[in-house]
Amino acid sequence: MLERLGIEHLFALSGTEALLGFLTPLALFVVFFLAQVILPGRRVPGYVTDPATGKPRAYKLSGILVFALALVVWALELTGMPRDWFYRSAPYAVAGGTVVAFVLTIIAVFSQPRGEVKNPIAAFWLGRAQELSFFNNRFDVKMYLYVAGGTMLALNALSAAAYHYERFGADSNPGVFLFAAFMTFYIADYFFFERVQLYTYDLIHEKLGFKLIWGALVIWGWLYVLPIWGMAALPRPEISSPWTYILLGGTAALLWFGWSISRGANMQKYTFKRWPDRKFLGLIEPEYIAAGDRKILCNGFWGAARHFNYMGEVIIALGVALLFGHFANPWAWVYFVYMTTYEITHQRDDEKECIKKYGAEKWAEYQAKVKYRIFPGIY
């Protein structure tokens, strides 16, 4: 079965190594916790209001520093851990990380008052507390989840590239290196603009349940790079040299295009939320629909589709599916299928929340002005 799936090499650890793989996430999550508490970071007011004070919650932004340090420790093998370890131990780490996420969720959910969600299984999945923070806001659980998950996403991609190079040397697939380079860039960019993340769905709406805790730590940290589980064990595709360059150039352009849409839309919304009258990039005058004291942005990226940022992510996922050059291999497409399904359901969930916040009438006005949900002209 594993052979047919092409991932038997990921189950080749000895008993002791398998146990170490299982425990790796626990050790990492402790180190990330210490890093998050100890390392300095910029203190900023966020977007979400603290119900106790009525003022914006305070956050410490240290993601870029934690990420840079983690890259150095991994690249120089400062802990003695081989660079390909995260990749070779990935399935065991997913199992171990899931157990840790399960325990953390039990603590995060059942230490809190019952609130609206009475059913304990639903509460476990969705969570009860909107935020949990400790040590005078030096440690915010949501920010921690994203720093740990995002850093591991990049390290898992890089680790797979290290494994691939050691196994195939001169016969390596350049697509694997493009994938690792892009994922590292994607996460560096995420942390560079960490403050913008304070204005996104998970910070605004999600509660601390298994969906968010496991989703950020394990799905984001280990499983977003799932295509590489199958792809790192394959040599370069049999494509002639000029076509390899065309494929790499074309998919790099696709990744860049997807990233530009996603980053552009997120930045436009962030600019609008912080400075409602400011032109985006000094060029695009914001147009909006007023809904009481709230404003629905409806031009630029937010005029192309109601969640155009999600289209950027789907284009990135398409680039990922194509860049390996193994077009008929299902592993290459896992991320694309996941991301497309995720963004379609996520857009619907967010729209329900927005109808509550902005009112059905004003949202219908927005829907009439901006007809498409994610893909202009299609959906």
| Binding site residues, ligand NDP, CB under 6 A | 200-202, 204, 262, 266, 269, 296-297, 302, 307, 309-310, 313, 346, 350, 353-354, 357
| Smallest distance, ligand NDP to C-beta of residue 101, A | 15
C-beta of 160 vs 296, nearer to ligand NDP: 296
| Smallest distance, ligand NDP to C-beta of residue 262, A | 4
C-beta of 167 vs 346, nearer to ligand NDP: 346
| Smallest distance, ligand NDP to C-beta of residue 110, A | 24
What Å distances lie between residue 119 and 102, 128, 131, 132, 264, CA to CA?
17, 11, 20, 21, 40
Beta carbons of 284 and 272 less than 8 angstroms apart:
no
CA 186, distance to chain mean position in Å, is 9
- Residue 45, SS3 per DSSP: strand
C-beta of 79 vs 345, nearer to ligand NDP: 345
| Smallest distance, ligand NDP to C-beta of residue 309, A | 4
> How would you label 75-113 residue by residue, b for 16+ Cβ within 10 Å and e otherwise?
eeeeeebebbbbbbbbbbbbebbbebbeebbeebbeebe
| Smallest distance, ligand NDP to C-beta of residue 205, A | 6
| Smallest distance, ligand NDP to C-beta of residue 313, A | 4
Q: Name the nearest CA neighbour of 232 among 74, 24, 84.
A: 84
C-beta of 201 vs 256, nearer to ligand NDP: 201
CA atoms in the 13 A half-sphere facing the CB of 197: 21
Give 14's contacts (C-beta < 8 A, 6+ positions apart). none
What Å distances lie between residue 105 and 28, 94, 111, 217, 376, CA to CA?
17, 16, 10, 12, 38
β-strands 139-140, 56-61 pairing = unpaired
C-beta of 85 vs 336, nearer to ligand NDP: 336
C-beta of 17 vs 287, nearer to ligand NDP: 287
| Smallest distance, ligand NDP to C-beta of residue 2, A | 29
C-beta of 84 vs 313, nearer to ligand NDP: 313
